[in-house]
Amino acid sequence: MNSRMDSFHFRFEALGSGCEVVIGSGSKKNAQSIAGCAIEEVSRIECKYSRYRTDSLVSRINAAAGHDWVECDEETLSLFQYADTLYESSGGLFDITAGVLRHAWDFGNAVVPGQDVLSRQCSLINWQSVERQGNSVRLPVAGMEFDFGGFGKEYAADRAAALVYRKGVRNGYVNLAGDIRVLGPKLDETPWLIGIQDPRHKSRTIASIPLFTGALATSGDYERYFEVDGHRYCHIIHPRSGYPVTYWRSVTVVAPLAITAGSCSTIAMLKEADGLAFLEDSGMGYLAVDHLGEMYCRNTSSGF
């Protein structure tokens, strides 16, 4: 029996960006079939939770805001439970009803909205007002919206990686647009080296983080933004002021799960100047670049 192993790379488009599954396997056919399952899982989560798809569960709940209760399944209820912890842990900064602000901020046309528009949208942000009873959920005010975009991608990376792992793969990773969950080291037992993009130079990296296992996620002000009068407006928006955060250019967190890494990096972005203390106390490894380009890091190689 020939058991020579190789790493097979599969690239695909999902969640609006480039994604990749890497699988160490003795046969290409086997790797292909496993990668297929992983891609299918990512696509399933996208179809179910994307607010850009009118047929998604999230769009159905959003459409019923102010009116009907919508019954949810086990998976969705557990994600609401997680969202609740996110809200509590971030002092209300990470709120999955904050997606309404994206209607005010038009990144395509680079227009800074007026204060009245922002105030109106901010009044629709209120996770604590969301009604949950048994298996059903209801947004109490018309116009309120859920947005799972804050952790959906990381959740998908973790789900897909766990699926691949259950199929016996022990070397490889799942990378959904930079949110990475590692299955295990390279075939030669060395770590995967994850390059961290320079937030101001798309083609450059500022660091390379070795990962044997665990996960890594980055939030930054460079993914989606526009500039007006030298001021940068990015897509991570403070739920109270209604304005994009400005303190950090990027925050990368290393954690056991992609969803934890992603949540911590986003909370640090939202906490602005207090983000560093949050990262330091989180016990996880991080690499953060502030608005002046200053880098802060802690033990990204043994962050958990």
Partner 1 sequence: MVSVATTKSTVLATALATAAIALPSLQFAFAEAAPDQGVVSFKYLHYQDSQIGNGVNVITGASSAGSSSRMGVNAYSMTASVPVAGEWSIGTTFTSDSVSGASPMYHSSNLTKMTDLRRAIDVELTRYFSSGTLSFGTGYSKESDYLSRSYSFQGSLSTEDKNTTFTLGGSLNSDNIFPVTNPNAYYSKKLYSGIFGITRILTKNDIVQFNVGYSNGNGDFSDPYKFYDNRPTRRNNTTILTRWNHHFDWTDGTAKLSYRYYTDTFGIRAHTLEGEYVQPLSNGWTVTPLLRLYSQSEADFYVAVGAVEKADPTQPTPPPADAVYYSEDQRLSAFGAITLGLKVSKSLNQDWLVDLKYEEYEQRGKWSVYGNSDKGLAPFGARSIQVGLSRKL
Q: Which residues contact partner 1 by CB under 8 A?
A: 1, 3-5, 74-75, 78-79, 81-82, 85-86, 88-90, 155, 158-159, 161-163, 165-166, 168, 170, 183, 187, 189-191, 210, 212-214, 255-257, 259-260, 263-264, 277-278, 281-284, 301-304
User: 107 vs 212, which CB is nearer to partner 1?
Assistant: 212
Contact indicator for 181, 158 with CB cutoff of 8 Å: yes
State the angle between helix axes of 74-89 and 258-271 in degrees (0 to 180), rounded to the nearest 10. 40
User: 63 vs 77, which CB is nearer to partner 1?
Assistant: 77
Q: Is 228 helix (H, G, I), strand (E, B) or coil?
A: strand
User: 63 vs 187, which CB is nearer to partner 1?
Assistant: 187
User: 30 vs 136, which CB is nearer to partner 1?
Assistant: 30
**Least CB distance from residue 89 to partner 1, whole Å?**
4
**Least CB distance from residue 48 to partner 1, whole Å?**
13
**Least CB distance from residue 165 to partner 1, whole Å?**
4
Name the region of 21 (left: φ>0; alpha: ψ -120 to 50; beta: rest): beta
State the angle between helix axes of 258-271 and 152-166 in degrees (0 to 180), rounded to the nearest 10. 160
User: 30 vs 143, which CB is nearer to partner 1?
Assistant: 30
Strands (E), the chain: 6-14, 17-25, 70-71, 131-133, 136-138, 172-176, 179-184, 192-198, 201-211, 214-220, 225-228, 231-234, 248-255, 285-290, 295-298
**Least CB distance from residue 210 to partner 1, whole Å?**
6
